[in-house]
Amino acid sequence: MSAATLFPGGLYAITVETADTARLLEQVAAALAGGAAAVQYRDKSADVARRHEQASELAALCRRHGAPLIVNDDLRLADLADADGVHLGRTDGSVREARIVLGPGKFIGASCYQSLDLARAAEAAGADYVAFGSFFPSPTKPGAAHAPIGLLRAARDALRVPLVAIGGIAPDNAAALLDAGADSLAVLSAVFGAPDIRAAARAFNLLFETEPED
């Protein structure tokens, strides 16, 4: 773990892929106003110019709100856009390479799916947080394998880095993940698919505000 501060716990809002940059910025601003603690820019398109513009503008927006902007899957884009970090999947390169490129002050997250062994390896390589999922059926990745909630309990005992839960999370099923040890909830549809994005983010934020202390 090499970033200057711990990856923030709370709502980790994952963006919707869109060519409408102005609308994207409006959506993310609403999520931040509702209390999102971090934002992940996720865009799988081949439009390099659009992705660079969006990532750069989102990084500036998030900085104004005091929240990190993490780029999904693309280390080069995270570096060029001066984002606050990168999130790596299984085939997106190594944590060690990302640390060399981004330096010690940026966040590096790793998808660990349903594997505690992957999480241990990511932590050992210097990841700042690890993500597990999918805990519930997800409209974003309907074919994703299921992760048992007990995995979070095992990870909480085995790891020192923050834990991110992902996959079909909504305010009415999130409490079990927090109780099991999740520090952050990575959410796309239940925030950016909501009619009132700010209110949706606020509903998640309230779960953390009311979480009992140990």
- Residue 151 near residue 116, CB atoms below 8 Å: yes
Name the catalytic one among 111, 134, 184, 198. 111
Residue 106 annotated to the active site: no
Strand, coil or helix: 183: coil
Q: Please give the structure tokens belonging to residue 10.
A: 């709370």
Residues 6+ apart with CB under 8 A from 6: 128, 162
Residues 6+ apart with CB under 8 A from 146: 114, 134, 135
Name the catalytic one among 42, 99, 106, 202. 42
Residue 44 annotated to the active site: no
Residue 23 annotated to the active site: no
Q: Is the dihedral of CA 22, 169, 48, 105 positive or negative?
A: positive
Task: Supply φ then ψ for residue 46, to 5 degrees.
Answer: -95, 5
- Residue 36 near residue 67, CB atoms below 8 Å: yes
Residue 22, amino acid: A
Name the catalytic one among 63, 141, 156, 189. 141
Q: How far apart are CA 102 and CA 127, in angstroms?
A: 12
Q: What is the CA radius of gyration of the chain?
A: 16
Strand, coil or helix: 182: coil
Residues with catalytic annotation?
A: 42, 111, 141
